[in-house]
Amino acid sequence: RKKNEESKEKMVGILKLFAYADWLDIILMIIGLIAAVANGTGLPLIIFVFAEMTNSFVMIGQMQLTLWTFTIFYRFAYYYVGIGFAIVILSTIQVWTFLTSAATQTARIHQKFFFAVLHQEMAWFDTSQIGTLNTRQTDDINTIHEVIGDKICIFVQFFTTFLTGIVIGFVYGWKLTLVILSVSPLLAAAFLASFTTKELSAYARAGSVAEEILTSIRTVVAFNGQMKALAKYDVNLENARKVGVKKSITTYTSLGFTEFVLFGAFALAFWYGTKLTVEEKENYDNRTCVFFSALLGAFSLGQGSPHLESVANARGAAYEVYKVISKVLNHHLIDSSAKEGYRPDKLKGEIEFKDIHFSYPSRPDVKILKGLNLKVQSGKTIALVGSSGCGKSTAIQLLQRFYDPVQGEITLDGRDIRTLNIKWLREHIGLVSQEPILFAVIPIRCCREGITDSEVEKTAKEASAFDFISRLPDVTQLSGGQKQQIAIARALARNPRILLLDEATSALDTQSDSIVQAAIDKARAGRTTIVIAHRLSTIRTADIIAGFHNDVVVEQGTHSQLMTQKGVYYSLVMQFSSFGKSSIRNCHEENVPAVPYSRILALNKPEWLHIFFGVIAAAFSGGVYPAFAVIFGKIIGPSTYNSTVVFPILPFQGFMFGKSGEIVWYDDHKNAIGVLLTRLATDASQVKGATGSQLGLLTKTACTLLTAIIIAFVYDWRLTLLILACIPFIIAANAVRLSFVAGHALKDQKALEEAGRISAEVVENIRTVASLSSEDAFCERHNASLNGPYRDSLTKAPLYGLTYGIVQCANYFLDAAVFRFRAWLIANCYTNFENVFIAFLSILFGAMNVGQSTSLAPDFGKAKVSAQRIFQLLDRKPFIDSYSEKGTKLVRQFRKSLKLTNLVVLYCP
């Protein structure tokens, strides 16, 4: 019971999915719901036509045929045409309105989620799996988008059809309808608990591992750790696969049980309906209408069930996404977006740490600072020295209010910094760290609103960076010293009163160190400066040097004073050493190749046995409904055989395809980390749209249609030829819809990769972003990257709705043609009523299954695009392959020195 309660808590309510809809979205959805309900009631109108037609068949078979008799059937055809045109209009409106509303809601969720992430406390980043955020930003929000778009309105359409069928059943025969509904509790029991939340969490953990590996890919390759890294990633994917298999078994066992109960209800309806007709002389017309109402409800539940699964997925995804958003909206102690807090008109820059005690939230039992007391005079430079882990960098982070101390206070010009506005505080602090992060999406000017070109040029010159910036616009080709000079210019662009230098020159070579140190000396003039450095030669000129030991300050003084005392500082000077390092970046341009469907299936080659039995099960499942058409056409008693067959087939089919649909995909491609993580989060999961349960549904639909055509040929080949002549038009309509979806999916994916790149870069370096007070600038860039998909979604919404409507109405027009032609066949004595009726029913059931498959066309279209991107990476042959066994291997131990002769290095432009 406790587990069930926890499972419910990790899924939001259905209405909560639309939590970020505004009044215009609500109006659009109301219009869409009205259209969906009207569309759903359109199909039950066919019940009257179909029931009357069936009764007419029985009557005509017992009397002499007249011209007036066949005029009735012509009228039936016109009914179908009229309803078909109404379906086109209603389908277009329902999908158009919901997709338009979903586009604005999804954009809003993207913006709020990214804003919430950027404005979380640092403690939240310390205690959360940061690598999962990119998965939430892409895969989870995409899942929500799909449901609040066309899937939810299509489910409403099918559910309305089901309810309308029940209402019609009560109107025309309440006794028989009650008997059929007596099995409804069993139907409800078929929908078991969902494993969605667990599956999403497992994939999110895998995404976290992937980010950790890709962020340090050069280190991984340098130590030949690719296989170990891959094994670590595979462990998390294996957990996701196991949960996915359990989810598939649960889902498709439920669906199989549903089909079993439905066919049992049909058998019960045949038996009890016959009993009512014989014993109570109930109208045969009413019994036919009631039965077809139940039949329609059965098909509606079958067609709506995949969308119901999607709704469950979205509810689980929304739980994690909305939880992050609500956290920053509901309660937040340190929020840089807060308007509260004092903003002094003047700032001297006098800093004092008073009895500071502090432990990081991720390690509350480990004290980092134990009573720190330190005072920094305005305009002076103080250097903090000590062994690693003694609290020097922690003091700087507390000053920027990344955290609040557990005990004590930090004052600025005598005022507790907790009373100051956080954004104002950070805007007056400039930070230069050991390894500066030069964001690809934010230039120097973004560090201060309203900064002019002349001011940017001035700060670049102060940092001695103007000359090389003018010559080298591509920051990815800068040396470590040049990057550090850019970072100094970025800090000075805001004209800060306080300057923080955290190991600013420790990673530079001697030549670069002298250049950067000169820029630092120029920058700190007139500013309150706090310096942290292991290269002690750079801090000898500091006004005060504070020595840390055991998490407190144990000595203060000038260089000469501390050398005389021979304490902490003296010991560090004696142990002084330095080292340097540099890094480069690479880039890559992509061209997405076309991929045949057979190659997508080849990804599941290790699971070929599951696929084989899954296809066999789907094929038998597809033949059930046409066989039922023959039984019903002959009206030969209860259809208990079908319910026995369907129950074991569908769960088995679902297990096989659910197991094979878990695709393990890894990537060692040197590209932007955010892009790779976006692809890992979306592409591999979307490929399941072309395999997994969708492959089973495709097989089932193909077999249903093939069996239906064969049966129709056996009973009336002329009518079947007409139907076959119409099928290419239906296939063409579906192909247009599929290509339309795939084209837009590729555009959306590219834009989401850009957003993912920004997101990953920002989250990975959140402390730098916070210190620069650049959260709003990055939010603007991130939101701008989503404008393309948003505008594209608004453009494609009416076209997508129209293609859906055309596909939906195609079956009605086909039925109209069949009505007209079969009346002519009977009138000219080419066939009899029973044969025509069986042929028509078999094709009708086949068409209904085709309709169910077309509702999942968007999944297949997106899967095709994702597969193209996957194979592009898998097919890429790197120039330097770390997995290759080629090349000479030295037998003797390598002891000689390296020699580089005429070496030329070219960076990718």
- Judged against a pLDDT cut of 70, whether residue 474 lies above it is answered with no
Poorest-confidence range of 155-164, 714-723, 899-908?
899-908
Under the phi-then-psi rule, with left for phi > 0, alpha for psi from -120 to 50, and beta for the rest, what region is 649? alpha
Last residue of a domain, one of 463, 496, 531: 531
Choose between 168 and 623: higher pLDDT.
Answer: 168
667 and 518 share one domain: no
847 and 710 share one domain: yes
- What was the pLDDT predicted at 596? 59
Question: Which residues face 548 on adjacent strands?
Answer: 553
CA dihedral 444, 446, 449, 451 (to 10 degrees): 30
- Judged against a pLDDT cut of 50, whether residue 848 lies above it is answered with yes
Poorest-confidence range of 91-100, 296-305, 662-671?
662-671
Three-state secondary-structure class, residue 402: coil
Poorest-confidence range of 88-97, 310-319, 506-515, 769-778?
506-515
Q: Does some domain include residue 2?
A: no
| CA distance to 701, 719, 731, 845, per residue, from 725 (Å) | 19, 10, 11, 18
Q: Model confidence at 565, in pLDDT bands (50, 70, 90)? A: confident
How far is residue 588's CA from residue 578's CA, in Å, rounded to a whole number? 34
How far is residue 717's CA from residue 831's CA, in Å, rounded to a whole number? 10
The tokens describing 853, both together, are 């498959």
The half-sphere exposure of 321 on its side-chain side, counting CA atoms within 13 A, is: 33
Last residue of a domain, one of 488, 508, 531: 531
**811: amino acid identity, one letter:** N
Question: Which residues face 430 on adjacent strands?
Answer: 499
Contact 719, 821 (CB under 8 A): yes
Three-state secondary-structure class, residue 374: strand
- Judged against a pLDDT cut of 50, whether residue 655 lies above it is answered with no
How far is residue 700's CA from residue 702's CA, in Å, rounded to a whole number? 6
Q: Does some domain include residue 338?
A: no
594 and 520 share one domain: no
872, containing H or E segment:
helix 857-875
How far is residue 322's CA from residue 11's CA, in Å, rounded to a whole number? 10
DSSP state of 446: G
**CA nearest to 520, candidates 632, 436, 646:** 436
| Residue whose entry in the numeric block shows the structure tokens 């509260």 | 340
pLDDT digits (tens, 9 = 90+) for 674-721: 445 555 555 555 555 545 555 666 677 777 778 877 887 787 778 778
Contact 148, 244 (CB under 8 A): no
615 and 526 share one domain: no
- pTM confidence score: 0.66
- What was the pLDDT predicted at 416? 93
Q: Does some domain include residue 252?
A: yes
**CA nearest to 299, candidates 628, 721, 674, 667:** 628
Last residue of a domain, one of 531, 549, 572: 531
**CA nearest to 845, candidates 263, 253, 283:** 263
Choose between 320 and 658: higher pLDDT.
Answer: 320
Q: Does some domain include residue 137?
A: yes
Q: What are the residue ranges of helices labelled H in 765-832?
A: 766-771, 775-785, 787-827
How far is residue 251's CA from residue 192's CA, in Å, rounded to a whole number? 7
478 contacts: CB under 8 Å, gap ≥ 6: 438, 468, 472, 486
Question: Which residues face 410 on adjacent strands?
Answer: 353
- What was the pLDDT predicted at 608? 61
How far is residue 797's CA from residue 734's CA, in Å, rounded to a whole number? 17
- What was the pLDDT predicted at 480? 67
Contact 141, 353 (CB under 8 A): no
CA dihedral 789, 756, 397, 432 (to 10 degrees): -100
How far is residue 529's CA from residue 370's CA, in Å, rounded to a whole number? 23
Domain that holds residue 323: 20-333+588-875
Average pLDDT over residues 462-488: 67
| Total structural domains within the chain | 2
526 and 603 share one domain: no
Contact 94, 39 (CB under 8 A): yes
- What was the pLDDT predicted at 714? 81
Poorest-confidence range of 271-275, 404-408, 439-443, 834-838?
439-443
Q: Does some domain include residue 385?
A: no
- Mean residue pLDDT across the chain: 71
pLDDT digits (tens, 9 = 90+) for 187-216: 444 444 445 555 556 666 666 666 666 666
DSSP state of 897: P
Q: What are the residue ranges of helices labelled H in 13-66?
A: 23-60
Three-state secondary-structure class, residue 556: strand
pLDDT digits (tens, 9 = 90+) for 592-640: 555 555 555 565 565 666 666 776 776 777 666 667 666 665 543 333 3
The tokens describing 198, both together, are 């667990």
286 contacts: CB under 8 Å, gap ≥ 6: 172, 173
How far is residue 340's CA from residue 419's CA, in Å, rounded to a whole number? 9
Q: Model confidence at 657, in pLDDT bands (50, 70, 90)? A: very low
| CA distance to 270, 283, 658, per residue, from 277 (Å) | 11, 7, 45
Average pLDDT over residues 409-415: 92
Choose between 284 and 547: higher pLDDT.
Answer: 547
506 and 639 share one domain: no
- Judged against a pLDDT cut of 80, whether residue 797 lies above it is answered with yes
770 contacts: CB under 8 Å, gap ≥ 6: 122, 336, 400, 402, 426
Task: Quote the longest CA-to-CA distance of the chain.
Answer: 126
Choose between 134 and 110: higher pLDDT.
Answer: 110
Other Cβ atoms closer than 10 A to 62: 6
Contact 216, 253 (CB under 8 A): no
Sign of the CA dihedral 368, 372, 378, 380?
A: negative
| CA distance to 121, 329, 575, per residue, from 19 (Å) | 24, 13, 60
The secondary structure of 365-400 as a DSSP string is TS-SEEEEEEEE-TT-EEEEE-STTSSHHHHHHHHT
Question: Which residues face 412 on adjacent strands?
Answer: 351, 415
The tokens describing 826, both together, are 């009977």
211 and 278 share one domain: yes
Choose between 908 and 807: higher pLDDT.
Answer: 807
773 and 659 share one domain: yes
How far is residue 715's CA from residue 66's CA, in Å, rounded to a whole number? 24
Average pLDDT over residues 173-186: 66
Q: Model confidence at 31, in pLDDT bands (50, 70, 90)? A: very high
How far is residue 857's CA from residue 743's CA, in Å, rounded to a whole number? 13
CATH code of 636's domain: 1.20.1560.10
- What was the pLDDT predicted at 725? 78
Task: Supply the Cα-derived Rg of the chain in whole angstroms.
Answer: 35
Among 592-601, 659-668, 754-763, name the most confident range: 754-763
Q: Does some domain include residue 376?
A: no
- Judged against a pLDDT cut of 90, whether residue 128 lies above it is answered with no
- What was the pLDDT predicted at 649? 38
CATH code of 447's domain: 3.40.50.300
- Judged against a pLDDT cut of 80, whether residue 807 lies above it is answered with no
Under the phi-then-psi rule, with left for phi > 0, alpha for psi from -120 to 50, and beta for the rest, what region is 464? left
Among 36-40, 57-61, 785-789, name the most confident range: 36-40
- What was the pLDDT predicted at 220? 67
190 contacts: CB under 8 Å, gap ≥ 6: 254, 255, 257, 258, 261
**CA nearest to 487, candidates 465, 508, 467:** 465
Average pLDDT over residues 763-783: 82
Contact 200, 234 (CB under 8 A): no
pLDDT digits (tens, 9 = 90+) for 271-296: 777 777 666 655 555 666 777 776 67
Q: In percent, how much of the chain has pLDDT > 90?
A: 7
- What was the pLDDT predicted at 542? 86
Bridge-based pairing of strands 498-502 and 351-358 is unpaired
- What was the pLDDT predicted at 223? 62
Three-state secondary-structure class, residue 594: coil
Q: Does some domain include residue 471?
A: yes
The tokens describing 579, both together, are 């080292």
Q: Does some domain include residue 266?
A: yes
- What was the pLDDT predicted at 235? 73
Average pLDDT over residues 69-81: 71
Sign of the CA dihedral 881, 887, 893, 897?
A: negative
- What was the pLDDT predicted at 659? 34
- What was the pLDDT predicted at 880? 62
- What was the pLDDT predicted at 409? 93
How far is residue 725's CA from residue 813's CA, in Å, rounded to a whole number? 13
- What was the pLDDT predicted at 760? 76
75 and 223 share one domain: yes
185 contacts: CB under 8 Å, gap ≥ 6: none
The tokens describing 375, both together, are 């005072």
Strand order in the sheet with 498-502: 429-432, 498-502, 528-532, 381-385, 544-549, 552-557
| CA distance to 561, 618, 763, 835, per residue, from 69 (Å) | 117, 42, 74, 18
- Judged against a pLDDT cut of 60, whether residue 658 lies above it is answered with no
701 and 608 share one domain: yes
How far is residue 863's CA from residue 859's CA, in Å, rounded to a whole number? 6
Sign of the CA dihedral 776, 778, 781, 784?
A: negative
Average pLDDT over residues 460-465: 72
175 and 305 share one domain: yes
Among 319-323, 466-470, 593-597, name the most confident range: 319-323
User: Phi, psi at residue 372, to the nearest 5°?
Assistant: -70, 130
CA dihedral 451, 453, 455, 460 (to 10 degrees): 120
243 and 310 share one domain: yes
Q: Model confidence at 581, in pLDDT bands (50, 70, 90)? A: very low
How far is residue 517's CA from residue 179's CA, in Å, rounded to a whole number? 89
Average pLDDT over residues 404-409: 91
